[in-house]
Amino acid sequence: MGTPEGREYDWYFRACFPRLTRTVYLMVHDQTLAEDIAQEALYRMLRHWRTVSAYDRPEAWARRVAIRVAVREIQRRAARPGKEQLAHHAPIEHLPDPDVASAVAELAPMQRAAVVLFYWDDLPVREIAEVLEVSESTVKQHLHRARHRLAVSLGEEVGEDVR
């Protein structure tokens, strides 16, 4: 894409793809799937580029799409019969902190997304609510429940709730 519009998109792709892939990876724990989802989100951004490029933060649009696709994918995988789930099981033992990965993988999809966006992407509750299309109080509830569950799984203390 040699046009100025195309170069602008390419720049955004290069800027967003690595971070987006890592965010999705922390939810799905499968690099190929994470790259597929990030690629799909950024492809949709290209299809709507004339509109999205006029936004203040086009990358936020792509992140919203990627997180929704990831949540749906986790739900879809969870609904599969046991043997199929095993076939798609991504090993996490090789990760630097497999305990955290395993504890996060036990969370419900929306809780997983909220935890990753809050602790890894450093997004404020307001922005997480926009990404997940829920209210801020729902996000706080997801984080509250997730933190308590993760604290038990990881054997760590629970501090003050997020604001």
Partner 1 sequence: MSVDERLRAGLGRNASVVVPAGEARLVAVRRRHRRRITAMTVGGVGAAAATVVLGFTLVGGGAGRSAPEPLPPADSSAPLPTVTQDPGTGPIPDSTWRKVVTLEQAQDLGVPSARIVRDIGDDGRLPLELRLEGGRFTLTGDFGGAVAQTGDIGKVTYDEAGRLVVESLTCAACSDLTLTWRIEDSRLEITRMGARGGPMTRAVWLGTWQRAD
Residues that bind partner 1 (CB under 8 A): 1, 3-5, 8, 10-11, 13-19, 21-23, 25-26, 31, 34-35, 38-39, 42-43, 46-47, 49-50, 53-54, 59, 94-97, 99-101, 104, 115-116, 119-123, 147, 150-151, 154, 156-159
User: What's the min distance (Å) between Cβ of 46 and partner 1?
Assistant: 5
The tokens describing 41, both together, are 């989100």
User: What's the min distance (Å) between Cβ of 121 and partner 1?
Assistant: 7
Nearer to partner 1 by Cβ, of 25 and 73: the residue is 25
User: What's the min distance (Å) between Cβ of 28 and partner 1?
Assistant: 11
The tokens describing 144, both together, are 């509250």
User: What's the min distance (Å) between Cβ of 78 and partner 1?
Assistant: 21
DSSP annotation of 91? P
The contacts of residue 50 (CB under 8 Å, 6+ apart) are 5
Q: Around Cβ 105, how many Cβ atoms within 10 Å?
A: 17
User: What's the min distance (Å) between Cβ of 82 and partner 1?
Assistant: 26
- At residue 56, φ and ψ (nearest 5 deg) are -65, -40
- At residue 33, φ and ψ (nearest 5 deg) are -65, -40
Contact 41, 66 (CB under 8 A): yes
Nearer to partner 1 by Cβ, of 94 and 126: the residue is 94
Nearer to partner 1 by Cβ, of 138 and 153: the residue is 153
Residue 94 amino acid letter: H
